[in-house]
Amino acid sequence: WGLRLRGEDAVVLTYIGDGGSSEGDFHEALNLAGVTNAPVIFFMSNNQWAISTSRRVQSATTSFALRAAGYGFEGVEVDGNDVMAVYDVVVSAVEKARAGDGPTLIEAVTYRMSFHNTTDNPARYRDPVEYEEARGRDPIERVQKYLASLGLWDQDREANLTVELRGEIDSALEAAFAAPLPTPRDLFDN
């Protein structure tokens, strides 16, 4: 809303998980965004699990994206494992927000492949068949195949890029460890 008042064309992108969408402040934010027609995109990663609670018992709706309609704006569901589809939906939402056409709730449907935290054991509550099906929709493998079909990705490029990026990461880590520790006053620098 402040961006609109200042006449800026910036767009806010905020991220939340499906479990967090059951909290009251999420709905308050959707309501305020709808009422003020704010240039904001709510990007929700629906990984099917709120810690150990299945998506099936989190909400009576068939899609979390449907919640946006109750606040007067568009909700879009997208395959969260399809990098290009996610890109297209986000670009469209940014263009819409910049044009003054209001917020968008994007629900990226995916699957949590790992633990929620260090004390979590998904084997206690997750269906192994469902897990194996989700492995077949790996977004990294999908985008690699897509790029390879365009002639933009191959094993040599991957190996070279891996070496290059490891070098950049090592340099960044060395610089971080060599830097002086921040002071409490540094909190106010930016």
Which pLDDT does position 55 carry in this prediction?
72
Q: What is the mean predicted confidence (pLDDT) over 121-142?
A: 85
Fold classification of 1-113+122-137 is Rossmann fold (3.40.50)
Active site residue 27: no
Q: What is the mean predicted confidence (pLDDT) over 10-35?
A: 93
Q: What residue ranges do the domains of the chain occupy?
A: 1-113+122-137, 138-178
Please report, for residues 5, 69, 120, the alpha-carbon distance to residue 72 in angstroms, rounded to integers and kept in the order given.
Answer: 21, 5, 37
CA angle in degrees (0–180, nearest 5) for 101-104-108: 155
Active site residue 131: no
Please give the torsion angle defined by the CA atoms of residues 115, 113, 110 and 104, in that order, rounded to the nearest 10 degrees. 30
Bigger pLDDT: 90 vs 135: 90
Please report how many Cα atoms fall inside a 13 Å half-sphere around the Cα of residue 77, on the Cβ side. Answer: 13
- The active-site residue, picked from 67, 71, 111, 112, is 112
In 3-state terms, what secondary structure has residue 173? Answer: helix
- The active-site residue, picked from 15, 87, 98, 125, is 125
Residue 48: pLDDT band (50, 70, 90) is confident
What pLDDT digit, counting tens, does each position of 76-126 carry? Answer: 999 999 999 999 999 999 999 999 999 999 999 998 877 777 777 777 778
69 near 104, Cβ under 8 Å? no
Q: Residues of 60-77 as b/e, b for ≥16 C-beta within 10 angstroms?
A: eeeebbebbeebebbbbb
- The active-site residue, picked from 116, 131, 142, 146, is 116
Q: Is the pLDDT of residue 156 over 70?
A: yes
